[in-house]
């Protein structure tokens, strides 16, 4: 009941095209996250699905029915925004039941649905409070509860956690994940935070300047990025990218050494994630470098290395590392962890 299909969808603002022919199928009950840098079109695309922005060209299908020209009220969807938009003079109960009340639903039905939403979101103790007496996380749960009572086909979330502090973001990520499990409804979630994307999504849609760079499960995008953009956007710290040349079953680094290569065509870049690098003695591995900065985070330490002509690299190692600033080290990386990219920025398989 919540399958959503986009067919060649475009969005134009005058002569400016911001969504450039999106084709995407979202299955019933799936949790899909739109992620990308600011200005990539992810919120615009969500608003087009919800009916808050007109679709300039293309088709939107919901459960196989063409909803392209339908107003938001006819699409069976509900949106949760980063702004809670709660009525300050109403109680939590009245805020959650307001849409049903304005639609003329019977009072008994309103009470039943609000009570059920409050149970799911653990809001029962707060039903008689007003928004000003709630924390940020509680207010966001009220906003979500207001959507639940409408019994929508799908939930659309537009950066709902961006106004919360770090601890509340973690708490609310858990709440939204449990909500998806309990309701088994389609959810589309927009964020620029890849941690939210990786932890919540069944599939991630990575957007780049109004186009889809790659769609896949979080593990697929992390382990097998389709291009340089995805390789450096997914993962924290981002993947290290080094210039290389390839020939005769080997890759070679400028000012470094290199290693084995079995790609199906020449590559000009090699990528290695910070957590896949091992620190060796100078002369070991594919290159050498000088420890420039240490960023101690407790369980982890980020080792920033000056690679000379190859530029800066980041190594993610454990918090007990004994390397010091100024040390010369070898960069050791398992060949199966390396990812290669051609002159067009596409992954070489």
Q: What is the pLDDT of residues 16-45, one digit of tens each?
A: 999 999 999 999 999 999 999 989 999 999
Phi, psi at residue 33, to the nearest 5°?
-115, 130
Residues contacting residue 320 through CB under 8 Å, at least 6 positions apart: none
Dump pLDDT digits (tens) for 110-166: 999 999 999 988 899 999 999 999 988 889 889 889 999 988 999 999 998 887 888
Q: Give me 4's structure tokens.
A: 């959503």
DSSP state of 346: B
Dump pLDDT digits (tens) for 268-313: 999 999 999 999 999 999 999 999 999 999 999 999 999 999 999 9
Nearest alpha-carbon partner for 145 in 170, 171, 169, 110: 110
- Confidence at residue 92, expressed as pLDDT on a 0 to 100 scale: 93
Sort residue 159 into left (φ over 0), alpha (ψ -120 to 50) or beta: left
**C-alpha span between 95 and 25 (Å, rounded):** 33
**C-alpha span between 117 and 97 (Å, rounded):** 10
- Confidence at residue 232, expressed as pLDDT on a 0 to 100 scale: 94
Q: Domains in the chain, start-ordered, CATH in brackets?
A: 4-229 (3.40.50.300), 237-348 (2.40.50.140)
Q: Give me 173's structure tokens.
A: 């990520």
Which residue has 């290669």 as its token pair? Answer: 340
């Amino acid at each position: 009941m919540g399958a959503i299909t986009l067919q060649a969808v475009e969005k134009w603002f005058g002569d400016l095209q911001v969504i450039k022919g999106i084709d995407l199928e979202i299955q019933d009950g799936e949790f899909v996250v739109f992620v990308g840098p600011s200005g990539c079109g992810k919120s615009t695309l969500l608003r087009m699905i919800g009916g808050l922005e007109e679709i300039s060209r293309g088709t939107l299908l919901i459960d196989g029915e063409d909803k392209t020209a339908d107003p938001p009220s006819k699409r069976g969807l509900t949106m949760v925004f980063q702004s809670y938009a709660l009525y300050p003079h109403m109680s939590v109960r009245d805020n959650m039941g307001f849409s049903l009340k304005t639609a003329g639903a019977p009072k008994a039905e309103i009470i039943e649905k609000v009570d059920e939403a409050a149970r799911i979101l653990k809001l029962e103790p707060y039903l008689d409070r007003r928004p000003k007496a709630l924390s940020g996380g509680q207010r966001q749960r009220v906003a979500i509860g207001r959507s639940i009572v409408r019994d929508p086909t799908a939930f659309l979330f537009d950066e709902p956690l961006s106004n919360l502090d770090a601890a509340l973001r973690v708490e609310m990520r858990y709440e939204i994940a449990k909500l998806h499990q309990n309701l088994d409804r389609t959810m589309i979630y927009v964020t620029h935070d890849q941690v939210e994307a990786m932890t919540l999504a069944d599939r991630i849609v990575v957007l780049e300047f109004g186009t889809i760079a790659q769609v896949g499960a979080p593990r697929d995008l992390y382990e097998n990025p389709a291009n340089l953009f995805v390789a450096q956007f997914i993962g924290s710290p981002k993947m290290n990218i080094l210039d290389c040349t390839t020939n005769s079953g080997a890759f070679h680094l400028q000012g470094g050494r290199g290693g084995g290569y079995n790609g199906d065509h020449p590559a000009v870049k090699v990528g290695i994630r910070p957590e896949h690098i091992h620190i060796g003695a100078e002369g070991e591995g594919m290159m050498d470098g000088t420890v420039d900065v240490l960023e101690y985070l407790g369980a982890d330490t980020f080792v920033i290395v000056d690679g000379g002509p190859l530029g800066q690299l980041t190594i993610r190692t454990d918090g007990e590392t004994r390397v010091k600033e100024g040390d010369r080290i070898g960069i050791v990386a398992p060949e199966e962890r390396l990812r290669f990219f051609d002159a067009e920025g596409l992954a070489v398989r």
